[in-house]
Amino acid sequence: MTKQLLVVENLEAGYGEMQVLWGISLSVAERGISAVLGPNGAGKTTLLRAVAGIIRPWSGRITFSGEDVTLSPPHVKVGKGLVLVPEGRHLFPELSVEENLLLGAYTKLGRYNLEESLDLVYSVFPRLKERREQRAGTLSGGEQQMLAIGRALMARPTLLMLDEPSQGLAPKIAIEILDILQRLRGEWGLSILLVEQNIVKSLEIADYAYVIEQGRVVLEGEPEELSKKGDLIKAYLGI
């Protein structure tokens, strides 16, 4: 069996009194890509925020590289290489492209590899290099998404969690970004936990997928299996 990098067991979380996640279990293999699919409001973003430590899990367990990180604060997780590209990007709009990237390398690991990471990010996203002096808030949607991913790569992640990286993008750019992710898995040995609306494309690059609905995993399996159950997925996702 392949080694699991991230293991989430029976995770429960929510906001205030409202429970959103009702015992989610999933994992990401080393050098693997796991996809999480589900309708709007299913709790996908809440799941990633809980794993990243932005919201505090109510119960359950999160193990990363064999270490229990359930209640670790977000900056500690980033320091260990567990990095989130959040929904809505959350860039620093008043800062330049390059300042955003430099902040991406805020942790010890990032600082140590700063020059090399910057070269790598610029080679993956040449458009960012052209616009390095520009304020992040003035970038186009696609460029902002590249910057959000580039900023996350600056932290030298071993596991990259992406929350709808192709949201609001032209299909062509969306596919370009998913291709780049697949390339990084090969080149960097990166593992990926991907939340995506683009079901067909994400099933194509993922090696395991979960369908969640109302905070529970309702279906999981390898993409080929899930594709066979195409009707079932459609029923769950309401498409």
Which of the residues 68 through 127 are near other proteins (CB under 8 A)? 73-75, 78-79, 83-86, 89-95, 99, 102-104, 106-107, 110
Residue 233 sits in the site that holds ligand ATP (CB under 6 A): no
By a kind-dependent CB cut-off of 5 to 8 A, residue 41 interacts, out of other proteins, ligand ATP, Mg ion, none, with ligand ATP
Residue 45 sits in the site that holds Mg ion (CB under 5 A): yes
Is 157:121 a contact under the CB 8 Å cutoff? no
d(CA 233, CA 29): 23
Supply the DSSP symbol for 133. Answer: T
User: Which segments of the chain does DSSP mark as H helices, in order?
Assistant: 44-52, 74-80, 97-104, 108-112, 114-124, 126-130, 141-154, 171-188, 199-205, 223-228, 230-237
Q: Which member of 17, 40, 115, 172 binds ligand ATP (CB under 6 A)?
A: 40
Which of the residues 127 through 166 are near Mg ion (CB under 5 A)? none
Tokens for 141? 């949607």
Tokens for 230? 């195409």
Q: Which residues bind other proteins (CB under 8 A)?
A: 52-54, 73-75, 78-79, 83-86, 89-95, 99, 102-104, 106-107, 110, 151-152, 154-155
Q: Which residues bind Mg ion (CB under 5 A)?
A: 44-45, 87
